[in-house]
Chain A
Amino acid sequence: MRPGRRGHGMPCPYGESVMTVQRNESIVGASVARKEGRDKVTGRARYIDDMTLPGMLFGATVRSSVARAKIKKISFGAEINWDEFVVVSAADIPGKNCIALILDDQPCLADGMINHPEEPILLLAHPERHKLWKAMAAVKIDYEELPAVTTIEESEGGLASGREVIWGADNIFKTFLIEKGDVDSVWPSAAHIVEGEYSTGAQEQLYIENNGIIAAFDPAEGVTIWGSLQCPYYVHKAMMKLFALPEDKVRVVQMETGGAFGGKEEYPSMIAGHAALLARKSGRPVKIIYDRAEDMAATTKRHPSRTRHRTAVDGDGKILGGEIEFVIDGGAYATLSSVVLSRGTIHAGGPYHWPNIRIRSKAVATNVPPHGAFRGFGAPQSLFAMERHMDRIAQVVGVSASEIRRRNFLRPEQTTTTQQKVSEEVNLEFLMDRALELSDYEAKKKRFTAANATGEKKRGMGIASFLHGAGFTGSGERYLDSVAGVEGCADGTVRVLVSSTEFGQGTNTVLCQIAAETLKISYDSVAIAQPDTFAVPNSGPTVASRTVMVVGKLVHSAALGLRQTLVGAGLLRDGYSAEEFRVACAEYVAKCGVLKSYARYQAPPDVFWDDEKYRGEAYATYAWAVYVAEVSVEPATYSVAIEDFVALQEVGRVLHPILAEGQIVGGVAQAIGFALYEKVVWEGGRMRNNQMTNYIMPTSSDLPPIRVFFEEFGNPHGAYGAKGIGELPMDGPAPAILNALEDACGVRCTAIPMLPEDLFAAMAHGGPDATVLSGKTQ
């Protein structure tokens, strides 16, 4: 990384940071207008609930009220004229009763057995939406209840005592083991052994648009799905299996999607299945739109986690080795837990050099609704633990929070926990210096320490340094085998053909920028096709911070292919103008009918990954960051205010400064919620505060000035040097804030979310359980 190659300060409304967004001659790197922006600011953008089909029915889902049970009997109340309703049960499923994803263990509709609250049992449809409520209430389900496990500890404990096994042979969906060096040999030579346990809670994605799907069924044409979703081809795969249909008899179309954050990665397949089953039985299109309460209670959330660290360091605080145990609560079915666990496991060691390490991880089953994808995907959980633990090590060794990190930062040519050699020019010390300078860290810390001794209001500073791997893990991208296309149209304009979806991040805009830049034509002459499995190739799911880096590169290659076709046809010469391109493109289409160019993912040749030993090149590249939080604590109310927040990162080349800044600020805001506001209240495996009234996300009044800074260096694997960006900002804020909180009031909190009442309890008891975190000096 070359220090200060180019830095952007966000257009800070506070006027504190310099607006240095560069408007290049080129399209890539400029903040061009968002492709679908005009429709969004005029209210014309069409989301799924804005769509109506002739003769359409409304669908609703009858769900379980218990965590684990056998269904004894289902009865239908006499007060309802059931002839008016379409009723679907598991018996109506023509194919396999599962939501195909990884293990196919989750039923589309419960068939005799209930494994979590809110599990779908029956589906109802009626032309009038309001009549569904009464009908749902008139369905009576008799259960034979079975003992349920609802926490990680119960899931593990049940096993020890030989009792409740609720999934497989041992309640374990997946385990991973990473081993590097010989960790067992380091303990005797350690100056200090530092132990700690950390935990994170469930978090609701809370996209403002609830989940929704419209389905149609035609005996000859098959199933058509329109919906609010991230991954059209995931839904496509699930419908093929559920309806036993070939791929050309399932069509999935993504509508404008009002936020997703991972929350619309896997669950839309469930809703699509439900709507399509009702459509098949009724012969009419069916719309299912969840209300907020149903969406929050029934759909996926971030996996709760528990991480234990045991670290050996020398007298200077240099890490000799360590053991990390990382456990996540997967809920009742396997869904994506194995993949979330994978990312969390690989990120568990943070951006540090571990000569010796053993990381054991597992995803366990509980009788709660399955947890799922949410921005960061396991990494925010294990990095929260790592970065809180790093501060603990600093205390035990007696050095500062920044110094302990400096002494252990990964450097070029060293290897990560998976023994991936750092081949990037990463310079974490530079990022640390810069972040401390931007946040005025040292001066403020000195001032606060002095003032806290006497003052009522306590203030503190906290740091987190971290990394985030871009794209699918290990061999994942190779398995995905993604394809992207670029099409020349009859009028000489160009369309990008991908199944990568827009849900606010800027997919449409950035992929069009890449195509326009590559073809040397104007941004306005490139459009993006609506994701529709009948019209676009499978460019993979829109997840894992992979779209700009991986799919963008494919769009780049496909665009080069298109240009080559025109050159090869003798219609275009080097040094062409945009107008010449337009004419050549139109001429080709007039002559030959179709002008399309596709590019398929090709793994870099030198990438090695061992799925068995979990060793090798875990990610093609990483984004690196140092964040600094400044907090104050109100002594009377225990409320925590973040006074300032500096987010400094290296994400490769920034292709669109405003969108990139928007990603970082938005991610930091969600992570502030994760740390301080958003608590899911569980009762018997059920979310009790499933309303925006009592599940609190940050409002415009709650957030500090979030100041965003980029350092840029290239990434040879990504389009125009880009790396992944979307998930990174979710990883660092929570530990930075909790570190600042400890700096402010001396209380060592190890669990989030940390609400005022939790802080009150911790301070009243003189800190959390001392056995949980003890620095042992040998």
Chain B
Amino acid sequence: MTSTKDCAGKCAVTFTVNGEARQVVAYPMARLLDILRNELGLTGAKEGCGEGECGSCAVLMDDVLVNSCLVPVLQAGGTAIFTIEGLASEGKLHAVQQAFLDCGGAQCGICTPGMIMATVELLGKKPAPSMEEIREGLSGNLCRCTGYMQIFSAVAEAARRIAAP
């Protein structure tokens, strides 16, 4: 664990975010979500419920999807964090982002960053997921707008495009 305690009860915690080394000084139980949003200015991850139900705050931590509202920042020390902001490279959308755009996978957009990170994780594990695997893989991310069908289309489409670019 890469952290050192300071006298005010805060810790210095280092990790990488979207490939860049970052250090923050924070209370050890501060939520990773707040650190990302308020300290690092990465407001892509959203707070929907604050209790790990909705998945709007989902980010990847060492390639595992986590609800950042439930992760104390101390636990993130030494890990590689990956957020929605790190997905597009040089202005070009990631295949998952493009598929969400093309298939109507984003309506109000508030669940979208978390939903896209969940899709990235899913396709990392299962490059050609079945419909049941898509449903299961996204079941930790709530969407109130789409009724999910166009999100399923987007995930399937992204998988196809990644397989045959």
A interface residues with partner B (beta carbon < 8 Å) = 10-14, 31, 33-34, 36-47, 49-50, 205-210, 256-261, 291-292, 503-506, 658-659, 661-662, 665-670, 691-693, 697-701, 703, 705-706
5 example contacts (A-B, Cβ-Cβ < 8 A) are as follows: A41-B116, A206-B144, A208-B142, A661-B104, A697-B144
Contact between B144 and A668, CB atoms less than 8 A apart: no
Contact between B108 and A258, CB atoms less than 8 A apart: yes
Question: A256–B110 Cα gap in the complex (Å)?
Answer: 9
Which residue of chain B has the shortest Cβ distance to A662 in the bound complex? B104
Contact between B84 and A13, CB atoms less than 8 A apart: no
Question: A698–B150 Cα gap in the complex (Å)?
Answer: 15
* Beyond A259-B107, A292-B50, A697-B142, 6 extra complex contacts between A and B, CB < 8 Å: A49-B46, A257-B108, A665-B149, A692-B53, A700-B138, A706-B149
Contact between A43 and B44, CB atoms less than 8 A apart: yes
Question: A40–B46 Cα gap in the complex (Å)?
Answer: 12
Which residues does chain A contribute within 8 Å of B50, judged by CB atoms? 291-292
Contact between B84 and A670, CB atoms less than 8 A apart: no
Question: A660–B142 Cα gap in the complex (Å)?
Answer: 21
Q: Given known contacts A292-B49, A700-B138, is B144 in contact with A41 (CB within 8 Å)?
A: no
Question: A292–B141 Cα gap in the complex (Å)?
Answer: 16
Question: A36–B106 Cα gap in the complex (Å)?
Answer: 10
Question: A46–B98 Cα gap in the complex (Å)?
Answer: 19
* Residue-wise interface mask of B (84-125) relative to A, using a CB-CB cutoff of 8 A (1 in contact, 0 not): 110110000100011011111011111111001000000000
Query: Does residue B51 face the partner (Cβ distance < 8 Å to A)?
Result: yes
Query: Does residue B17 face the partner (Cβ distance < 8 Å to A)?
Result: no
B46 nearest CB across to chain A (Å) = 7
Contact between B51 and A691, CB atoms less than 8 A apart: yes
* Residue-wise interface mask of B (140-161) relative to A, using a CB-CB cutoff of 8 A (1 in contact, 0 not): 0111111111111100100000
Which residues does chain A contribute within 8 Å of B54, judged by CB atoms? 208, 692
Query: Does residue B21 face the partner (Cβ distance < 8 Å to A)?
Result: no
Q: Given known contacts A208-B111, A504-B109, A692-B54, is B83 in contact with A43 (CB within 8 Å)?
A: yes
Closest 6 CB pairs of A and B: A43-B44, A258-B110, A504-B108, A40-B109, A669-B147, A504-B107
Query: Does residue B139 face the partner (Cβ distance < 8 Å to A)?
Result: yes
A435 nearest CB across to chain B (Å) = 18
Contact between A700 and B148, CB atoms less than 8 A apart: yes
Query: Does residue B131 face the partner (Cβ distance < 8 Å to A)?
Result: yes
What DSSP secondary structure best describes chain A's contact surface? loop
B interface residues with partner A (beta carbon < 8 Å) = 37, 42-51, 53-54, 56, 83-85, 87-88, 93, 97-98, 100-104, 106-113, 116, 131, 134-136, 138-139, 141-153, 156
Contact between A258 and B46, CB atoms less than 8 A apart: yes
Q: Which of B43, B44, B49, B110 contacts A692 (CB 8 A)?
A: B49
B90 nearest CB across to chain A (Å) = 13
Q: Given known contacts A33-B101, A37-B101, A208-B108, is B142 in contact with A43 (CB within 8 Å)?
A: no
Which residues does chain B contribute within 8 Å of A209, judged by CB atoms? 46, 48, 108, 110
Which residue of chain A has the shortest Cβ distance to B149 in the bound complex? A665
Q: Which of A208, A693, A701, A703 contacts B48 (CB 8 A)?
A: A208
Q: Given known contacts A208-B48, A504-B145, is B108 in contact with A43 (CB within 8 Å)?
A: no
Contact between A207 and B144, CB atoms less than 8 A apart: yes
Contact between A13 and B152, CB atoms less than 8 A apart: yes
B147 nearest CB across to chain A (Å) = 3
Question: A44–B43 Cα gap in the complex (Å)?
Answer: 8
Q: Which of B43, B46, B104, B131 contacts A14 (CB 8 A)?
A: B131
Q: Given known contacts A658-B150, A691-B51, A700-B141, is B108 in contact with A207 (CB within 8 Å)?
A: yes
Which residues does chain A contribute within 8 Å of B150, judged by CB atoms? 10-11, 658, 661-662, 665
Question: A504–B44 Cα gap in the complex (Å)?
Answer: 17
Contact between B139 and A701, CB atoms less than 8 A apart: yes
Contact between B147 and A665, CB atoms less than 8 A apart: yes
Which residues does chain A contribute within 8 Å of B149, judged by CB atoms? 10, 12-13, 661, 665, 703, 705-706
Q: Which of A13, A666, A692 contacts B107 (CB 8 A)?
A: A666
Which residue of chain B has the shortest Cβ distance to A293 in the bound complex? B50
Q: Which of A258, A291, A699 contacts B109 (CB 8 A)?
A: A258
Question: A43–B114 Cα gap in the complex (Å)?
Answer: 9
Which residue of chain A has the shortest Cβ distance to B113 in the bound complex? A43
Question: A209–B104 Cα gap in the complex (Å)?
Answer: 19
Q: Given known contacts A13-B149, A661-B150, A662-B145, is B49 in contact with A700 (CB within 8 Å)?
A: no
A676 nearest CB across to chain B (Å) = 14
